[in-house]
Amino acid sequence: MSGQQSEPARLYGWDASRQTQLRAFTGGAVPVAVYGLGKMGLPLAAVYADVSGNVTGVDIDSDVARAVDAGRCPVEGEPGLPEEVERLAGDGSLSATTDATGAAADAGVHVIIVPTLIEDDEPDLSALEAAVRSVGAGLDAGDVVVVESTVPPRTCRDRVRPWLEAESGLELGEFGLAFCPERTMSGRALQDIRGSHPKVVGGADAESERVAELIYGEITDAEVIPVADCTTAECVKVFEGLYRDVNIALANELATLAGEFGVDVTEAIDVANTQPFCDIHTPGPGVGGHCIPYYPYFVISEFEGATPLLQTARHVNEYMPTFTVERAAEALDERGRDLSESTVAVFGLTYRPGVDETRASPGVAVAEELAERAETVYAVDPICTSAPPEGVQRVSLDAIGARELDLAVVTTGHEEFGEIPWSAFEDLTVFDGRHMLDDEDTSHPVSRLGDGSDED
């Protein structure tokens, strides 16, 4: 729905009735700028544009900005998003630019969802700082700034607010600041943003919280949960990620003990999880993406307190690619083959199915280790657009059947791998790191991560 353009309004500190403010926001009178049009930012900009009818997306990548402005969707793998971007750009609800300061000068709501990464185990907030300072340079009294990027606790309080005040010459109280984390999975971003989970909002002051609640009451159909402040909201998001990394590490550590137990730990895990107080996660060849493996360092490296559990969990998960290669080499050895004289195919370079992302990806780490130890290494991945690691040859799923293989290692559970031409191979050893294969899928002997087949 494209908003009817009326006199631009500013929500922060506006004493009009709630209904008047809601009409202004949903009627396009409050221009919105969304900074970062990536896997999360573009779906978010689309939902904001659908609700407010007046969104300018900002990205430093001119190809991205140009595509979105023309109604084309540069983000793959998000059902419904290409159609939404085309519709919203077409009706004038969504435009895009690389001019952050220009967009900031016009906007009354600034939503920041740029990457927050790790460099040498330290948080890299350079993209956040660049975006926030651009917003500050265009900030006006009455504006509200919403940070959705995942950040270390205290970032809004100790970094974002001072950056905004320094660039704008304004003070909090003249503008608003809130942290409203993105709790969304790639591949289902639109439905998640529109309301799969409660939306957490934390304001730097009471008026910021009020405005954030008013906005997200329109963006999401789910409950909006206000918390004490920005830092509490930052903790909510980071804690979710810490919980996941620690619990994946538990599953992985159990998988490394399967040989001693002499059991398939995934069977034991599945049954242990039949009672409500147990939610042991799924063992795998490692933890990838630019979220879960990174968030622990938002606490480990940022705070003085001891974090032995977080660090141990990271070490367990970072060891899993090596464990996977060791187990695959053992499976090969049991068949009288030496890895150093073998040809291996790694099935899966992206960190999880359906998402074209290889940051911290287990498949990449496994392929890199195999490139050091095996004679020839191929990588097969139906969606990965990144170059394979050095020493690894990319082969398509259609072409791999023509290659002589001694070992196949499954590291990502792409659904396309249901089409792997197993019968094309002779005398093949298969190591399934993702418990993706059933016995009837292939006649070749299959070892699985944590299946206990390495029984001492």
Ligand X SMILES: CC(=O)N[C@@H]1[C@@H](OP(=O)(O)OP(=O)(O)OC[C@H]2O[C@@H](n3ccc(=O)[nH]c3=O)[C@H](O)[C@@H]2O)O[C@H](C(=O)O)[C@@H](O)[C@@H]1O
Interface contacts to ligand NAI, rule CB under 6 A: 35-41, 58-61, 64, 100, 113-116, 127, 130-131, 149-150, 182, 184, 186, 291
- Asked if 96 contacts 58 with a C-beta cutoff of 8 angstroms, the reply is yes
Q: How far apart are CA 329 and CA 325, in angstroms?
A: 6
Long-range contacts of 197-200 (CB under 8 A, 24+ apart): 197/222, 198/222, 198/223, 198/224, 198/225, 199/223, 199/224, 199/225, 200/225, 200/227, 200/233, 200/236, 200/237
Give the tokens for residue 430: 């298969």
Q: For residue 96, give the H/E element and its range.
A: strand 94-97
Instruction: Using the minimum distance from each CB to ligand NAI, give the nearer residue, 114 or 344.
Output: 114
To ligand X, the closest distance from the beta carbon of 313 in angstroms equals 12
Other CB atoms closer than 10 Å to residue 414's CB: what's the count?
26
Tokens of 427: 């005398």
Q: Rounded distance, CA 92 to CA 90, Å? A: 6
* Closest to 204 (Cα-Cα) out of 212, 214, 196: 212
The option from ligand NAI, ligand X, none interacting with 288 (CB < 5 to 8 A, set by class) reads ligand X
- Closer to ligand NAI at the Cβ: 210 or 281? 281
Residue 38 partner contact from ligand X, ligand NAI, none using kind-dependent CB cut-offs of 5 to 8 Å: ligand NAI
Q: CB under 5 to 8 A by kind: which of ligand X, ligand NAI, none does 130 bind?
A: ligand NAI
Instruction: Identify which of residues 177 and 255 has a Cβ nearer to ligand X in the complex.
Output: 255
Instruction: Name the minimum Å distance from CB 19 to ligand X.
Output: 33
Which active-site residues does the annotation give? Answer: 237, 291
**Of these partners, ligand NAI, ligand X, none, which one is at the site of residue 240 (CB under 5 to 8 Å by kind)?**
ligand X
C-alpha to C-alpha distance for 138 and 203, rounded to whole angstroms: 21
The side-by-side arrangement of strands in the sheet containing 343-347 is: 393-394, 376-380, 343-347, 407-410, 429-432, 446-448
**Least distance to ligand NAI, CB of residue 415, Å:** 19
CB 251 to ligand X: min, Å: 6
149 binds, among ligand NAI, ligand X, none (CB under 5 to 8 A by kind): ligand NAI
Question: Are 331 and 259 within 8 A, CB to CB?
Answer: no
239: which 2 tokens?
Answer: 């804690």
Binding-site ranges for ligand X (CB under 6 A):
150, 183-186, 240-241, 244, 248, 281-282, 284, 287-289, 291-292, 351-352, 362
Contacts of 305 (CB under 8 A, 6+ apart): none
Which amino acid does the sequence have at 56? T
Nearer to ligand NAI, 150 or 307 (CB): 150
Of 38 and 445, CB closest to ligand X: 38
Contacted by 110, from ligand X, ligand NAI, none: CB < 5 to 8 Å by type: none
Q: Which does 248 bind (CB under 5 to 8 A by kind): ligand NAI, ligand X, none?
A: ligand X
Alpha-carbon distance of 212 to 118, in angstroms, equals 28
CB of 245 vs ligand NAI, minimal distance in Å: 14
Structure tokens at 2: 């494209």
40/344 with CB nearer ligand NAI: 40
Q: Cβ of residue 3: shortest distance to ligand NAI, in angstroms?
A: 23
Closest CA to 181 of 136, 146, 223, 131: 146
Smallest gap from residue 74 Cβ to ligand NAI (A): 8
Residue with Cβ nearer ligand X (248 or 258)? 248
